[in-house]
Structure 1
Amino acid sequence: MKCPSCEHEPVKIIDTRAQESGEVVRQRRCPQCAAKFTTVERISAFGLKVAKAGDRPPEDFSRTKLRRGIEKAAAVWSLGEKDLDAILDRVVKRLRPKPNEIVSSKEIAEIVLRVLAGDRPALAITRTRFAMVSIGRTSRATRFHGVHDFIRWLEDEYGAPPVTRPVQTPSVVVKRNGHTREEFSLQKLERSIGIASKGRGSDGQVERDATAIAVQVAGELHGQAIVTSQQIAGEALKILKRRDQLAYLRYASAVKRYQSVDDFWREAFGLLES
């Protein structure tokens, strides 16, 4: 290896440390200019081939493609660069790649799932989402033919469910910030719709309409245990738009967070097209 400062060759290794991920970190010193620098060595998957479904020829293993798949599975639970590198290094290490060797994408997926095993929520969620894609493909024989198969997989991997089956759905509302959660309340939804509809009929009529709309929204979301506040608002807006466009505008201005009077113009013009 050449010195990056003066290009003298060779340089001296003064310290070597093996990492849990399989990387080897070495400190080096140039005997000519005395410059010190660090190198990181990792197992390469160069030459490894991945078997594809059907009659398609094998393709080169792509660390970048696998990284992208894990990042997508992580979704909002972003994994840091070091975490991703460590995960990929462990996957490659377990593959024990040899030039021109062919492995199946299923084998790679199984190794990823083993590497992602851990107690950290980010890893557990990433692992579960990755499994839903890798095991849940309809193009191959799979254990995930439906939700019952998925539940059995969860039990196999994580044991008995720590949560009880919801008495009703929707059950939990995820607020706009993505972190706050609260129980779904039909009464709360009725109040918000009633406020938007105030004066659009007698008090009794407004109350009855608000109740009817809230029940209809809950019906549209039935079967979804966890819903977002945006979903609830979306269903309410669809109904209000058909029933009372002024009440729709009142409700929309709050849930869509209009930024200026221009937004009222845009929304009103849109209603003219419907």
Structure 2
Amino acid sequence: MKCPYCGKEDSRVMDSRPTDDGSIRRRRQCDSCGKRFTTYEKVETVPLMVIKKDSKREPYDRKKLLAGIVRACYKRPISIDRMNEMVDEIETEIFNSGEKEIPTTRIGEVVMDKLKDLDAVAYVRFASVYREFKDVNTFMDELKKFLV
């Protein structure tokens, strides 16, 4: 890191700590002049694009994911904190996949896996919208998975 005082390239990190905005604050000392200075580093993230069913692409939006889960969990004994935790888990899974574009079908499957473990009614609600059940028989087929 270039020293702002003498312009030399050699400096050492004396202290590092995360900041509230997600960046890293580093306290440095120049090896040449001995003066200290602070730098801030921010991790550069590649925006995740979501591929919709009609092949349109749009940026990933956490609010949309949370809204779908909140609708599925409506009047169920699930706290908003638990729903936010679930969104965090889903985001971790999809962001760690390393893909720059992800289809909504993949996100929907991850959500259904999480809801299946959390609450059967919320799972069926989400699945009925996500899978677009056309008739009662397809709905019953999904319910039979829980009755076994």
| Contact in 2 for aligned 1:217/1:236 (Cα 8 Å) | yes
User: Equivalent residue for 1:215?
Assistant: 88
Task: Provide the rounded CA distance (Å) in 2 between the counterparts of 1:168 and 1:250.
Answer: 32
Aligned residue for 1:199, secondary structure, equals: coil
Aligned residue for 2:74, secondary structure, equals: coil
User: Equivalent residue for 1:175?
Assistant: 52
Give a deviation string over 1:151-170, Cα, whole Å, max 9, x none: xxxxxxxxxxxxxxx7156x
Deviation at 1:268, TM superposition (A): 0.7
TM-score with structure 1 length normalisation?
0.36
Give a deviation string over 1:154-199, Cα, whole Å, max 9, x none: xxxxxxxxxxxx7156x10000112x11110111100110000011
Give a deviation string over 1:197-251, Cα, whole Å, max 9, x none: 011126xx1x222211111111111222210110100000001001101100000
Identity %: 23
User: Equivalent residue for 1:235?
Assistant: 110
**Structure 2: runs of 5 or more not aligned:** 1-43
Using CA pairs below 8 Å that are at least 6 residues apart, which structure has the higher relative contact order?
2
| Contact in 2 for aligned 1:173/1:181 (Cα 8 Å) | yes
- Give, as a single letter, the amino acid of the residue that structure 2 aligns with 1:212: E
Give a deviation string over 1:42-86, Cα, whole Å, max 9, x none: xxxxxxxxxxxxxxxxxxxxxxxxxxxxxxxxxxxxxxxxxxxxx
Aligned residue for 1:167, secondary structure, equals: coil
Aligned residue for 1:192, secondary structure, equals: helix
Aligned residue for 1:182, secondary structure, equals: strand
User: Equivalent residue for 1:155?
Assistant: none
Structure having the larger proportion of residues in helix: 1
| Contact in 2 for aligned 1:241/1:248 (Cα 8 Å) | yes
Task: Provide the rounded CA distance (Å) in 1 between the counterparts of 2:86 and 2:76.
Answer: 14
- Give, as a single letter, the amino acid of the residue that structure 2 aligns with 1:246: V
Task: Provide the rounded CA distance (Å) in 2 between the counterparts of 1:261 and 1:209.
Answer: 31
Q: Count residues with an aligned counterpart.
A: 103
Structure having the larger proportion of residues in strand: 2
Task: Provide the rounded CA distance (Å) in 1 between the counterparts of 2:54 and 2:85.
Answer: 28
| Contact in 2 for aligned 1:191/1:210 (Cα 8 Å) | no
Task: Provide the rounded CA distance (Å) in 1 between the counterparts of 2:51 and 2:121.
Answer: 27
Alignment of structure 1 residues 126-145 onto 2, 5 Å: none
- Give, as a single letter, the amino acid of the residue that structure 2 aligns with 1:234: E
Alignment of structure 1 residues 74-89 onto 2, 5 Å: none
Q: Which runs of 4+ in 1 moved over 6 A?
A: none
Aligned CA RMSD, in angstroms, stands at 1.6
Question: Which of residues 192, 195, 214 in structure 1 aligns to 2:71?
Answer: 195
TM-score with structure 2 length normalisation?
0.65
TM-aligned CA distance change 1:168 to 1:211, over 3 Å: farther
**Structure 1: runs of 5 or more not aligned:** 1-165
